[in-house]
Structure 1
């Protein structure tokens, strides 16, 4: 597997993982308020990879097509955020969020709307929390749903940067006693990744200062 030309130090990766986990925890709390049941979200690992490697990572783990909620974000760091599920897992998430044992036809009718709303809560909540902890703000586009394989979902948008790298986050998702696996990916160009790295360093410096280290 080819390696990405940008790497986070162990300290930077630990700090960023903490930021992401706080972000998804806040997002899980928002989702819990919407559906009225406990929601657990965690991010056990993060990698920075190329688009091709991100597509390969998904293909190695998922034999079926994927369903993706994606949103663009702009601010101190910019890019595109994707919430990715295997197709059947996405349908299982719809059933979990609605709290009903829906037929395949009913799931199909509700799928895009339910996934868009859920994806917006998770991605917006996660990124907004991270930006706030980094003392910055982000603006986000409305969510859109996309289907296809890894190559398609990581393909650059029209006018997008073909060399953008992917912050690839594995997520564990549990709602209504259903275990749902998925991924969060953030596609960013090199300047945005460098800006993010500087902000992470600032976050680490503030944390050390607050603890008197």
Structure 2
């Protein structure tokens, strides 16, 4: 398994899950302000997998086309963050975010904008919280909306054997009584993931120190 030498320990994975959950709860409160309704977001699991495995995990669960919001981030660790929804769920999300009174045509028209905005809030909150809690700073590009399947979104290049790693997060949304599931994926190369691992260790030491 290529993740061998940058596998996260159980403690690191727990710390990262905790950090990401704080990030998505901040995103939930921003979305709540934006749409004026209850938003519940949680990240039940975080895994580090290869790009191929991430694409396979999504295609096993989602048979329909996918829509993703993509933002690149750079700093002490860099990569590409994707917020991914099954296409059917993305219209549900647009209706939830815009108040639900749209016709199908209007929803499709507003989809790009509403998704980019929602993706921006969620990805920014997650990454800014990670950076902040790890005492670093990250800069992010503006969001782009993409469509495709797992292989295209994870940019799997069949011609080369090399691939990066993906920090793969399941995400559960509940907006206005609609259950919407999605995924957050952060594509990073091995040096970036090794840096993240090191920063998580520093974070854990600080917490242990404060508890001691």
TM-score category (smaller protein)? over 0.9
Structure 1, residues 137-163: CA drift from partner, whole Å, max 9, x if none? 000000000001001100069xxx952
Alignment TM-score, normalising by the size of structure 2? 0.95
For residue 183 of structure 2, give the secondary structure of its aligned residue in structure 1: strand
Corresponding residue of 2:181:
181
Structure 1, residues 113-168: CA drift from partner, whole Å, max 9, x if none? 000000000000111011101100000000000001001100069xxx95210000
The 2-side partners of 1:185 and 1:100 are apart by 27
1:73 aligns with 2:73: yes
Corresponding residue of 1:51:
51
**Unaligned stretches of 5+ in structure 2?**
none
Q: Is the 8 A contact 2:52 2:156 kept in 1?
A: no
CA distance change for structure 1 residues 181 and 3 in 2, over 3 Å: closer, same or farther? farther
Corresponding residue of 2:21:
21
After TM superposition, the structure 1 = structure 2 runs for residues 51-200 of structure 1, keeping only pairs within 5 Å, are 51-155=51-155, 163-200=163-200
Q: Is the 8 A contact 1:73 1:141 kept in 2?
A: yes
The 2-side partners of 1:155 and 1:196 are apart by 22
**Unaligned stretches of 5+ in structure 1?**
none
C-alpha displacement at 1:40, in angstroms? 0.7
For residue 43 of structure 2, give the secondary structure of its aligned residue in structure 1: strand
Structure 1, residues 86-119: CA drift from partner, whole Å, max 9, x if none? 0010110000000123222111100000000000
Corresponding residue of 2:3:
4
The 1-side partners of 2:124 and 2:142 are apart by 10
Alignment TM-score, normalising by the size of structure 1? 0.94
C-alpha displacement at 1:3, in angstroms? 5.9
CA distance change for structure 1 residues 67 and 162 in 2, over 3 Å: closer, same or farther? farther
Corresponding residue of 1:203:
203
C-alpha displacement at 1:76, in angstroms? 1.2
Q: Is the 8 A contact 1:156 1:162 kept in 2?
A: no
